[in-house]
Amino acid sequence: MQVTPAAVRILAELLEEFTGQELTQTRQWRVGTALSSVMREHDCADLNALAARIAGNYRSPLARQVVEALLNNETYFFRDLAVFQDLQDTVLPALAQARAEKRRLSIWCAGCSTGQEALSLAMMLAENTAIWNDWQVEILATDVSESAIRSARKGCYNQFQIQRGLDIARMLRWFTETEDGWVASEKLRNRITYVTHNILETPPTTRRFDLVLCRNVLLYFDTATRKKAYARLDSALAEDGYLLLGGGEAVRGHTGLFMPEKGRPSFQRPAAASARSGADAMAAVR
Ligand SMILES: C[S@@+](CC[C@H](N)C(=O)[O-])C[C@H]1O[C@@H](n2cnc3c(N)ncnc32)[C@H](O)[C@@H]1O
């Protein structure tokens, strides 16, 4: 059966309201697959029937379930290895130097999905005792998806997930095999606080972060929403901090609040206040 424009509009509106994401035409083809188990569970013959059930009731548990199913939680350990290498070789040592007096480092993984990104960072920091021994290192990892955060908190990965991006040595050093899957060590998990949070809302804490990772999240937003997200990220970042985006994501043309690092397009620095455009400054206070 053909999905009616009204049904597409309802699903798009729902996703936009809860996450800010656009249900672009290129994403619409996978909506049926993404929602098939929700339709089965709730005896909905097709997407039109499902949309009719949630119309006008976006706060219902079913609507929430639909949002969760529409989110793309794709992630894996050490995604974009070259970027993690760059973090280890240049950015983190630079931050260690800048924060040498307080010996405190705050990191925010915004859009952390099921936790692999935050755990990759935690592993890197824990392995580099020459720098980070005796430091207070905090990683806050957030995602709008409640189910992703629930899963991240468990820190338990199946055979497919554990092998994606993680070498055997790290897998054996930092994870224990159990009946349920491979569980991350307490040492890593204790470093990370997982919280459900929408990046379009006020940052989760008033603390300024030294490093913010927001990778493969903003690409689902339209231009205006992306601008708002950049303003939120900017308000959460220390003036000399770093914002790390996903491969292929760029600030140019989307915001004047950040400037890409020369030769390292994934790393962004806050632009000097004078370089900020009036429109972005407005977005920052909204
Ligand atoms: C493709 S995953 C990327 C995960 C990880 N950052 C990485 O690069 O491997 C995108 C994540 O962003 C989350 N997300 C989408 N919209 C969000 C929003 N408005 N606020 C917070 N997280 C959001 C999704 O739930 C999903 O887990």
- Provide DSSP, 168-181: HHHHHHHEEE-SS-
Residue whose C-alpha is closest to residue 167's, from 80, 78, 235: 78
pLDDT of residue 272 exceeding 90: no
Q: In whole angstroms, what is the distance from residue 37 CA to residue 54 CA?
A: 16
Beta bridge partners of 64: none
CATH number among 2.60.300.12, 3.40.50.300, 3.40.50.150, 3.30.70.120, domain 81-284: 3.40.50.150
Distance 229 CA to ligand 1 centre (A): 12
Domain with CATH 3.40.50.150 in the chain: 81-284
pLDDT digits (tens, 9 = 90+) for 55-77: 989 999 999 999 999 999 999 99
Specify the ligand 1 atom closest to the Cα of 109: 6
Between 198 and 27, where is the model more confident?
A: 198
Task: Look at ligand 1, atom 11, and give the residue with the nearest C-alpha.
Answer: 111
Q: In whole angstroms, what is the distance from residue 21 CA to residue 15 CA?
A: 6
Tell me which of 217, 218, 232, 266 to substitute to probe ligand 1's pocket, judged by most ligand atoms within 8 Å of the beta carbon.
217
Which band of pLDDT confidence, cut at 50, 70 and 90, is reported for residue 284? very low
Arithmetic mean of pLDDT, 6-23? 94
Here the tokens at position 205 are 């804490």
Other CB atoms within a 10 A radius of the CB of residue 61 amount to 8
- pLDDT value for 263: 85
pLDDT digits (tens, 9 = 90+) for 198-241: 999 999 999 999 999 999 999 999 999 999 999 999 999 999 99
* 198 close to 112: Cβ distance less than 8 angstroms: no
- List, edge to edge, every strand of the sheet that includes 182-184: 156-157, 182-184, 175-177
Q: In whole angstroms, what is the distance from residue 9 CA to residue 13 CA?
A: 6
Q: Is 129 exposed, middle or buried (0-12, 13-18, 19+ CB in 10 A)?
A: exposed
Specify the ligand 1 atom closest to the Cα of 21: 16
Averaged confidence pLDDT in the chain = 92
Specify the ligand 1 atom closest to the Cα of 246: 8
Q: Which residues line ligand 1 (CB under 6 A)?
A: 19-21, 71-75, 79, 111-113, 117, 143-145, 148, 198-200, 215-217, 246
Tell me which of 17, 113, 116, 151 to substitute to probe ligand 1's pocket, judged by most ligand atoms within 8 Å of the beta carbon.
113
pTM equals 0.93
Which band of pLDDT confidence, cut at 50, 70 and 90, is reported for residue 282? very low
Specify the ligand 1 atom closest to the Cα of 76: 9
Q: In whole angstroms, what is the distance from residue 191 CA to residue 104 CA?
A: 13
pLDDT of residue 286 exceeding 70: no
Task: Look at ligand 1, atom 19, and give the residue with the nearest C-alpha.
Answer: 19
- pLDDT value for 275: 59
Q: In whole angstroms, what is the distance from residue 275 CA to residue 182 CA?
A: 47
User: Which amino acid is present at 203?
Assistant: P
